[in-house]
Every structure is written in structure tokens, then in C-alpha cells.
Chain A
């Protein structure tokens, strides 16, 4: 194996890490602010991918299908998240964690069946949009253009989240709510509205992740469970609620998985879990500071 193969594999891993980051960032935000373990996060990601499929095929796999899906599918998932939060979650914020887990887990089952009913159980796929087909060469390593596009989107999302959380009034309120919800209410801000906003934003991110992964894989049932496990791992390694920790651990998991496939294919499936285990032995509370 030469250095070019290795570096192109690393770049592909890095670009997968970007999708992990986008999904896990939503999960960690919800964790940090609402303090809810949202099992349905993977389902929102899956629904994002199926919504992207529907939007792009409704335009006959044409030029603009993917781009329109990139706009519409995450927003659709965001609206659905808002309905879930206002219609269900807001009634259980003061309940114990078990109730919250049961509710979000029931949403996983409902979403799974809904997908089967609406889209059927056969595999679907979306074409990579024209203009992002083919590959480019970065320092001798070849990389599919679409993955290069992902490498651009990931940091953009990270930057956007950082700007939102640190520079906007609403973002500051979100950070305050993450540390002391009752005090936010005492200051006259309705904290459950902050919860709704954060859950919608988390849903948007899950939908965006689902849309972005769709052209690189088959859109199918079961993709919810796969991403959910990775997203939980990433959130825990990064430090609960910490966006930058999530970015770092997404990159570690994405690249670790890619190297595993190349070097020791027989253990590549368990490699991310091994990495997670080792990291947690040395940093039990995550790489960066948790907001909890």
C-alpha cells in the first residue's frame, strides 16, 4: 500500500467524520440543553435521507434534485422535530430519564414503521449531483469530488453553530439554559421555548446529515440504528454538550474507521468502539469539558 492510497482513505474517513459531526452535533445540543437522551435522533437522520430521496426523485433525478433536497429535506425534518417537541416531549421534561428514554424509543419504532409504510422496504439511492461527480487529486491522493464537498460543509456547519452559540442573543440564552434552566426562567425567559428551538435545530442537523449521506450510500431502513450508535459514541467521547469535543471525536471516529478498513479489515467493524473504549479509559468524562 502506498502513501497516496493511505491519504485518500484518510480523506474519505475525514469526510465521513463530517457527516458524523453534523448528526452528533444535533444530538449533543439536545443532550446539553434539554438533558434528554434522544433515541429518535437516528430516526430523524433516516427520515432526512428518505425525504431527500423523495424530493430529488420527484424532479426525475435531474440537475437540481439534490440541491433542492439539501434545502427542503432538513427543513422538513426540523418541522417534524418541532411537532414532536411541542406535541410530546414538552410534557415529560420533569419526568425521570426512564420515561424520557421510553418515549424517544417509541418514536424510533414509529418512525421505522412509518418509513416502511411510506417508502417501502426496498433500497433506494440518490445520484450524486452533476458537478460533484468525478474526483480530484489533493497532494497526489485522489478524492471523490462529493467527499471534498463534504469536507467543505462540515467546517461550515461547525462555524455556523459556533457563531450562533457565541454571537447571537438566542445562542447565549441556549448556553445559559444548558447550565441553569430554572435561572433562565427566573430572568423572565420561557425556557421551554428555548427547548423547542434547540430540538428543532438538532432535528435540522439530523436531517441535514441524512440528506448529505444519501448520495454516498443506499437509503434504507436500519440506517437509523447505525448512525445512532456512532452519534452516541461521538457525543460521549467528545464530552456531553460540547460542540468542539464533538467535532474532534467525529474526526477521530471517521478516520479511525477508514484506517481500520485499510489496515486490519477483520477488526474494522469494532475499531471505532475500541477507540472509544481506550479514549474513555484515559478521559472518562470526554475529551473536552462537558456542560453537565
Chain B
């Protein structure tokens, strides 16, 4: 479904991704693993066209999307949940959802998001900025789902959240996986990745150093100690 072929991405003068390639198949949950600063977020931003790669190619369902502007990704079927959640703090919870709805037709409605994340219904008239970190993460995911994506890109969804909230979010993401949506997930937390993903890529300095199923990674102690400190 998503295919990244040999991309090189730069932030200004600094070279971040060195010929990175990966694929995500239909219905698959793929996790990018690696320490801070290895290029996980940059990979996701390259796909979204926020930091387009200088060379290489990204295709989605066979169509080249390397040069397509960010605001057309939702229409193509790709939704993105950035790592800092980026809730519109001055808008209410409901307004945050409303502006994301109706861009691409599909099953997801505000009511359906409320069933997945009941807390968003409970606090719908509060300001987005007044929610806790976990609630903001749910709002950010709910907002992305209203784009009715075929591929959902999540950047460290459990980062900085309390263990109890992390478990709740993991359950909700697993529930999403069962709907047949494809997910590309950046994650520092190996445990979360093992729980959620089918396959994973371990990154180091902008390159893929390991690629395989989660089971293979769980058994490969060398890769884990070398690149993940786990």
C-alpha cells in the first residue's frame, strides 16, 4: 500500500535520512523503532510532504506522492497524528473534531469517534487546551480518523503518558487495527511496539538497520541492545 524507496531527506543543510526504504501492506501495522533523533519523525514527515525528500520516491497505492502537498494527503487516504498532538487549544473538543470531518467520505463520524473515545463526548464543550495529555492524544487520533484514512500514521502516540493511560490507548489502537486499517507507527517504547505491530523497522542514523516481524525482533537480542538499549 505504502512504499518508500531510497529516500534522502534534509532539514535545511543537515542530511537526516540516508536512502531509507520501507513498505506497509494493506491491513498491516508497521512500527518504526529507534532512539531519539534517528529519523523516525522525519520519515513520517517525508511521507506527509511536510519535509519532502530531496531524492527517492514514495508511492501510495501505486501513485507517486513524493511531491504532493500535505493538504491533499487526507483526500488520498492518509491521516497523520503528529507527536506533539497539536490540538487547537482555543477550539472546543467538538470544534476540533468538526473541522476535520467531511473532507473524505467514509464510515467515521463524530458519533463513532465518541464510541471509541467516550471521554471526547463527555468533555466536548471544553477547550482543547484544557484536556490532559492522554485525552489530547485521543482527540488527535479521533480527529485523524474523521479523515477516514486507509493508512493512519501515528508518531509516538504513547509518549509521555502515564502507564495506565498508555494501556488504555494501546487497547484503543488494537481495536482500530481490527477494523482493517493500515497503521504506520513510530515508537520508542519497545513493549508498545511489540504489542501493537506485525512488523517493525529499526532505524539508526537515518537508515534501516533491522527489518522483520516483531517475533524476530523479540528474539534478536543483538539488535535490541545495539539500537534500542532494551
Contacts and interface: CB of A to CB of B under 8 A. Distances in A.
Interface stretch (B66-74, B202-210, B219-227): B66-74
B91 A176 contact: yes
Contact of B99 (A189, A190, A291): A189
B70 A179 contact: no
B171 interface: no
Interface string B81-109: 01000101111000110111001100000
A189 B88 contact: no
A81 B75 CA distance: 29
Question: For this complex, into which size category does the number of interface residues on chain A fall?
Answer: 10 to 19
Contact of B91 (A172, A186, A190): A172
A-side interface mostly: helix
Interface residues of B, number: 27
B88 A180 contact: yes
A184 B99 CA distance: 9
Nearest to A189: B71
Given A175-B90, A176-B91, A186 B99 contact: no
Contacts of B39: none
Interface of B: 48, 50, 69-75, 79-80, 82, 86, 88-91, 95-96, 98-100, 103-104, 143-144, 147
16 contacts: A172-B91, A175-B95, A176-B88, A179-B90, A182-B50, A183-B86, A185-B69, A186-B71, A186-B82, A187-B147, A188-B71, A188-B79, A188-B104, A188-B147, A189-B103, A191-B71
Interface of A: 169, 172-173, 175-176, 179-180, 182-191, 291
Given A184-B71, A187-B100, A190-B71, 10 more contacts: A169-B98, A176-B99, A179-B88, A179-B89, A179-B90, A180-B88, A184-B99, A185-B69, A185-B70, A188-B73
